[in-house]
Amino acid sequence: MRSMGLDVGDKTIGVAVSDELGWTAQGVETIRREGKKKDYARLEELIKQYDVGEIIVGLPKNMNGTIGPRAELCQVFAEYVHNRSHLPVKMWDERLTTMAAERMLISADVSRKKRKQVIDKMAAVMILQNYLDAQK
pLDDT per residue over 68-83, tens digit each? 888 899 999 999 999 9
Q: Using N-to-C axis directions, what is the helix angle for 69-85 and 36-49, rounded to 10°? A: 60
Can you give the pLDDT at residue 117? Answer: 66
Nearest-CA neighbor of 1 among 40, 54, 39? Answer: 54
What are the structural domains of the chain?
2-135 (3.30.420.140)
Q: How far apart are the first and last CA of the chain?
A: 15
Strand partners, 29: 15
- Nearest-5° angle of CA 39, CA 44, CA 46? 100
- Arithmetic mean of pLDDT over the chain: 89
Q: What is the pTM of this model?
A: 0.88
Model confidence at 104, in pLDDT bands (50, 70, 90)? confident
